[in-house]
Structure 1
């Protein structure tokens, strides 16, 4: 395509990341989506981490509370005008209070959150980018463990100018972050003349579906203290933990190690959203939680570019304030995720495919290395294309998640019915059987998995200006409520 004249470099650059196989698979699905009745030969969407398993619980609550959707207050009075007129971008206090209560409940009330330290954003995508604008700029680097969510290439880099330097993790220890991997990534960033500003982790992990242990979180804390950098914990999947070990938030570690008063207290930030735990991605509700007053002030101002509507805030403040509902929802949702996860794992196992042992998330990290024609990323893409176009399953290849080992894939299980999952498992089983017939030399041909496919089981210091993006310190000195 001929490049348009007189447009910005941002409009004409190709660094958004949408040409990743992660997004290309979605495009193919949209051309030919599977339907249980009308298009049984279509592509089944297994590349979308969406939680549809507990939607009936939300719909049931809505039917019992019709006044909420009808813009009515506690006594049946119409509150449409109140919601429709101007709202300050700091957010509705009632919603912030309900949000932090729900966040604490998901963490077993082992940690509490202050609503004044919560910044509302239009989803976790906006939350992560806003936080990056506060912490980094061009010439700075964010260290991120691999494999990681492909959207981070867009969220963290595209508009901020910052770079991602991968912390390379491997299957040899179930992709856990190690001290040596952290140090290697830090050195790599400096070799590229990049100034390391933060480490960002997802806990629970997307795409691994695993939770980080206290030992790993403590290792990260020690690292960011030693390097005097920030730590961002994206905890968007915190309510999807359906098995042991239990979820440990970075805020819990911060409290346990009594860092209140230490300068690292201001350098730990949490990103959250209701997209995964409540299955409400269309509501566009995300949040940044930080003890850093400069980050909170600057991020609040930036949130004016992506606000959560007053109607949404009102609806969710009532929903999340219903203790009986939230308690029941959290437990029931976990049980449903556990059951659906087991169906995917057993279905893949019957096809001779193993998964990384996991306890959370809406997906499994699947080992298909023994199905590759060679141990290369070219072979991974060849296999991915066959699965998308022949098997008609849209799955995410590990290379799109920056995995260092070819042959791993992410398969989602919570965005479809059980019947559709059964169809997907039959298709993949037939495909593997076909490979066995056409490639008799493959180890799978005699039902023996190669060794690499074994199951994988399982006092306050003054804030330094240089630790934040320069404009944040300047802007945050004035916390006026512009309109």
Structure 2
């Protein structure tokens, strides 16, 4: 049977492909270290699990409002007020089945055929695929390594056409961990205001910030930018709730209403139990969130130094998220590989270390390593990469 064009054009997920290969090797008995994980290695905090159990025992296992429980929207509104000083109403918020679903629904209601969305590279793997599924056209703008993989106002201006509908800003970034400063966001925002370009601000890693870095939402810079921005966020990364599938969007009421209408015919409401768990996540003390953040920062400080000591590997130290995004083009050349993808494949086959090739993120000279795993495993993986390089050189 012939499949629809919308799915035949999709690019398979590089992350899932590497994960599948690593799992296959593990099943064969090999000691594989997987550094492809896009989720915290901590369990969901107990108070959140207990809130979910309580909700089930009290019978909160039925349908809810499509756009999310009013009580959860209230907590999200208070979170925006407390963290960014942003004022939203319930009509500005939709709760979805994860931040990915929020993005998917947004593009479905926003884009018509051939509408363009500007996507800075490196990008999260699902951005271009979701744009294509909405019959839009991804337009890639290269975030140069010398600029910490961030795009400039001049680059953004040059990419805008009469068909441009939106630009995606992901800060902190997956895969680079880089963060746009307030001044950088202000400059990009002025270009968007000039051309009336919607800003899709993916802030899912906002709670994972290291050193002296600061997270700033472009929506908090002015009322005009707030009105032109849809913020995407959720509890997956901040509260180690990836499997609970709760994300949300905040923005223009017309857009949020359209997203809610679409969700009513696709997914209905997010899981009721997970919504009650998220109410607890936001209403409770955030001490455990900070404990996880500190653990990630500690790992980063140790592993980054060891990684950049390997011949042919360079890596800008990330400011957020839980990924390292080293440039290993020179390492591939030193070991006789024509591409980084081939180098990464050999690393998995020979030393049993699974990393994600940067080609999946639009940057073929890099690899992504997640440090959302134990320090012991991370140090062991770095040692194996060093051995791999030594054996090949």
Task: Give the TM-score normalised by structure 1.
Answer: 0.75
After TM superposition, the structure 1 = structure 2 runs for residues 26-425 of structure 1, keeping only pairs within 5 Å, are 26-33=19-26, 39=29, 41-53=30-42, 55=43, 58-59=45-46, 61=47, 66=50, 68-71=52-55, 78-80=57-59, 83-105=60-82, 107=83, 109-158=84-133, 160-186=134-160, 190=161, 195-254=163-222, 258-259=223-224, 265-290=226-251, 292-304=252-264, 305-306=266-267, 307-322=269-284, 325-326=285-286, 328-352=287-311, 353-373=313-333, 378-403=338-363, 406-414=364-372, 416-425=373-382
Q: Return closer, same or farther for 1:372/1:133 CA change in 2, 3 Å cut-off.
A: same
Q: Return closer, same or farther for 1:421/1:97 CA change in 2, 3 Å cut-off.
A: same
Distance (whole Å) between structure 2 residues aligned to residue 9 and residue 251 of structure 1:
36
Distance (whole Å) between structure 1 residues aligned to residue 168 and residue 337 of structure 2:
25
Partner SS for 1:232: strand
Q: Return closer, same or farther for 1:272/1:371 CA change in 2, 3 Å cut-off.
A: same
Quote how far apart the aligned CAs of 1:165 are.
0.3
Structure 1 runs (4+) greater than 4 angstroms displaced: 374-378
Q: Return closer, same or farther for 1:376/1:267 CA change in 2, 3 Å cut-off.
A: farther
Partner SS for 1:245: coil
Distance (whole Å) between structure 2 residues aligned to residue 250 and residue 208 of structure 1:
19
Quote how far apart the aligned CAs of 1:124 are.
1.3
Distance (whole Å) between structure 1 residues aligned to residue 195 and residue 63 of structure 2:
43
In the alignment, is the contact (CA less than 8 A) between 1:177 and 1:216 conserved in 2? no
Quote how far apart the aligned CAs of 1:28 are.
0.5
Task: Give the TM-score normalised by structure 2.
Answer: 0.91
Partner SS for 1:29: helix
Unaligned stretches of 5+ residues in structure 1: 73-77, 437-483
What is the aligned-residue RMSD (CA, Å)? 2.5
Unaligned stretches of 5+ residues in structure 2: none
**Does residue 1:22 correspond to 2:1, yes or no?**
no
After TM superposition, the structure 1 = structure 2 runs for residues 460-475 of structure 1, keeping only pairs within 5 Å, are none
Partner SS for 2:213: coil
Q: Return closer, same or farther for 1:311/1:8 CA change in 2, 3 Å cut-off.
A: same
In the alignment, is the contact (CA less than 8 A) between 2:316 and 2:326 conserved in 1? yes
Quote how far apart the aligned CAs of 1:318 are.
2.6
Distance (whole Å) between structure 1 residues aligned to residue 131 and residue 337 of structure 2:
25
In the alignment, is the contact (CA less than 8 A) between 2:67 and 2:94 conserved in 1? yes
Number of paired residues?
A: 390
Distance (whole Å) between structure 1 residues aligned to residue 347 and residue 172 of structure 2:
27
Quote how far apart the aligned CAs of 1:67 are.
6.3
Larger Rg: 1
